[in-house]
Amino acid sequence: MTDPADLRPITTEEWPAFSRAMLEVFGDEPIGSFTETPPSVAELDRSLGLFADDGRVAATAGIYSRQLTVPGAVVPCAGITWVTVSPTHRRRGVLTAVMRRQLTELHEQGREPVAGLWASEGGIYGRFGYAPATARGNLHGRTRQMAFRPDVDLGTGTVTPADADAYRAGAARVHEALRRWVPGTMERDERWWERLLRDPAEHRGRASARRFLLHTEVDGEVTGHAAFRVRSRWTDDGEPDGTVVVEEVRARSTPAYAALWRYLLDIDLVRTVESAYAPAEDPLRHLLADPRALHARPLDGLWLRLVNVGRALAARRYPAPIDMVIEVRDRFCPWNDGRWWLRGHPAGAFCAPTDGDPDLVVDVDALAAAYLGGVSLGTLQAAGRVTEVSPGAVTQAATAFSWPVSPFCPDQF
């Protein structure tokens, strides 16, 4: 039962069995009404289920319709999610069938030129053409060592605690203002804000309920927001040794950003700060008098897949001119496999199939890694993932594919 024809979208009535099968593979317990009714962000017409002979759900998958910021533009992105295969159906080609069905349909529908996912395991998705395109910093440090440089400007605005409703209203405006400038960022409509702000006790990990901050200027404009938790701890000597678990800090100005972090680092009874999903190149380090006080253990974030190489490369912008032929090797999606003529500059781009001689040869997953500007094609060449045919082509392409803002995706799905 590995034929893609056996995979099909599920119905609302089938959601309870589908969701329970998915949670069982992930090792999660049902929370709230999740296994009773589909969440508001679910798109069951874009789901895939594989049903065993006894009626059990043997495999699950889904797609969210998202909007992804890429260098200089915003493109539709298929958010791949819910991907599981029951142990009873492993090593039968089921996952390959799921991936092929999704990508083939995306190509045929022509809706999204790229697909993205968060990988539960790092060794799974590379063989299907996905690659990490953003990184999360996994930051931590001791708060008493994280004094700011004396020249850091905290501005004239105010940082105040907020309830969930006020936070949602203010943070949504900040997010919308920022998301078009940072590659890897996705839109958040009301459904996604609702999902983001859910706070079941089972997910708190011995920490407090989520707390919220807003940064407001003297004219009342909200220019920054932060969400965090506090995990209390006391040493054997009775000394406080708590941790502030920072989930998100975004701001429209440097003073607002600095003021929010200063508040977080000055919380009483806290000695450690953690921020697993902060950008890998978070500006916080450059606010500190001692940059070594902030430690990072970078991990992969959003994985990307170019569904349609021509449309994807033409959609983004290039800070330096590029005019070359790129030979893309894509064994999983044959419509991408071949040579593509790319012309791009800061105002736009063109990309189409060609029979011209290649300047570069690159695997499709390596091209996906470089797509948002966070991984250099020069680095990929050093790893043997890019072959230079025309002298100087890697330098030219690496410069053109770069972007002044590091990619960052704060939204898991």
Annotated binding site: 83-85, 91-96, 120-121
Please confirm, yes or no, whether 125 is among the known catalytic residues. Answer: yes
Residues comprising the binding site for acetyl-CoA?
Answer: 83-85, 91-96, 120-121
Alpha-carbon distances of 410 from 137, 169, 179, 215, 263, rounded to whole Å: 11, 18, 10, 19, 21
Is residue 82 within 8 A of residue 49, CB to CB? The reply is: no
35: Cβ–Cβ under 8 A, 6 or more apart, which residues? Answer: 15, 16, 19, 20, 23
Q: Please indicate whether residue 413 is annotated as part of the active site.
A: yes
Contact call for residues 142 and 290 (beta carbons, < 8 A): no
Neighbours of 45 (CB within 10 A): 10
Q: What secondary structure does DSSP assign to 94-111, as a single string?
A: HHHHHHHHHHHHHHHHTS
Catalytic option among 64, 125, 167, 263? 125
Are 408 and 134 in contact by the 8 Å Cβ rule? The answer is: yes
Helix axes 190-197, 164-178, angle to 10 degrees: 120
Count CB-CB contacts under 10 A for residue 379. 14
Active-site residue among 64, 263, 277, 413? 413
Calculate the CA 268 to chain-centre distance.
32
Q: Which residues are catalytic?
A: 125, 413
